Chains A and B, each alone.
Chain A
Amino acid sequence: MKIIFEGEKGIASVLVPASKFLATLTGTDEEKTIYVANKDLPTGTKYEIIADSVDLSDRAFRNAWTYTAGASERTSEENE
């Protein structure tokens, strides 16, 4: 799983969890991904979890992506 969010330049950024770090965590894949989001995204960042199968290779499309609504949001400081 990966995480997409609106990055510092207003375009789509992708947070890619490291598999070796995920291996140290417990829980479902989604729970592990949420843990990484809470750890590594700036507080208040809205994000979406996407499957690894989603094709992100089209840079032109990603650079046009903007966040709209309904995303998860990092609110916790617990992992900082």
Chain B
Amino acid sequence: MSTIKLNGTSSGSSIIKAPDSGSTNQTFTLPASSGTLVTTTDAGVAGITSAADATAITISSAEKVGIGETSPTTHLLCLGEDSGSGDSGASSGISFRASNTENYISMSTVGGANNGARGLVINRESSNELIKFCGDGRGVSQFTARAWANYNDTTIYDSHNISSMTDVETGMSYANFTSAMPNASYVVQATAYSSNCDKHGPYIADAETGRVKILSLLKTNCDYADRTTHFVIFGDA
């Protein structure tokens, strides 16, 4: 006998059926307290509603949870829908929405040549990017620094998104960007270290998407001079 049929009190019936194969004396224990057993495609259990006809959530033997991922390798792993392929593809992930609005904030992965290795992007709705954390370590937004450096002559003390500095001549350098700016309308704020009150002031010229020229000028006689210079750049995401 592979099925047990239970008739309803007044009408209808339910059938408990063993799988055709692959099961060996599996025992299903009924709870001691009263309750209702339902199918996963009906109403759900204790507040969980599911209409899935395939595995949506997996809890592994290592107590790791996968959403759309049947072999989770972290405590919670969300597998989104990919567009593109490999590290150049974007993947939708987790969204948050207040109950009184249709607007939502989502977190997705992002990759590609201009984003470095795969990173994380936070969007308002599906395409209004708020901030992007690139896999190469950059945080890209309208309010995060696109590049900065602290240098003097042929020494770079520290930097971000700077692949190199070109020392052209005394007091004149190019900052070469690791990841190019989206346009040349960015803002450069530069200052310089001076210990002898020589009225030194840096200024910029030749702003390009791949580099910017920074010059150090002595205001007393307009000669160029090497000084430890700091700059930070903001621009379009």
Contact = CB atoms under 8 A, between A and B. Distances in A.
Question: Do A and B interact with each other, yes or no?
Answer: yes
Interface of A: 2, 7-9, 11, 13-21, 24, 36, 39-40, 56-57, 59, 62-63, 80
Interface in B129-178: 136, 149, 151, 153-156, 158-160, 162-170, 176, 178
Interface residues of B, number: 23
A13 B122 CA distance: 42
B8 to A, nearest CB: 68
Interface of B: 136, 149, 151, 153-156, 158-160, 162-170, 176, 178, 210-211
B166 A14 contact: yes
Chain A contact surface mostly: mixed
Nearest to A79: B163
A6 to B, nearest CB: 11
A20 B154 contact: no
Contacts of B165: 15-16, 18
B159 A7 contact: no
Q: Which has the most chain B C-beta neighbours within 10 Å: A8, A9, A20?
A: A20
A21 B167 contact: no
A13 B174 CA distance: 10
Contacts of B168: 7-9, 13
A40 B163 contact: yes
A16 B156 contact: yes
Given A18-B159, A21-B178, A56 B169 contact: no
A24 B113 CA distance: 15
A20 B159 contact: yes
B223 to A, nearest CB: 12
Contacts of B211: 40
Nearest to B165: A16
B136 A15 contact: no
A59 B159 CA distance: 24
Given A9-B169, A24-B136, A16 B163 contact: no
Q: Which has the most chain A C-beta neighbours within 10 Å: B149, B164, B165, B210?
A: B164
A15 B169 contact: no
A45 B154 CA distance: 19
Given A18-B149, A18-B156, A39 B169 contact: no
A18 B163 CA distance: 5
Given A18-B156, A18-B159, A20-B158, A59 B164 contact: no
Contacts of A8: 168
Contacts of A36: 163-164
B169 to A, nearest CB: 6
B155 A16 contact: yes
A39 B163 contact: yes
Given A18-B149, A40-B176, A40-B211, A13 B167 contact: yes
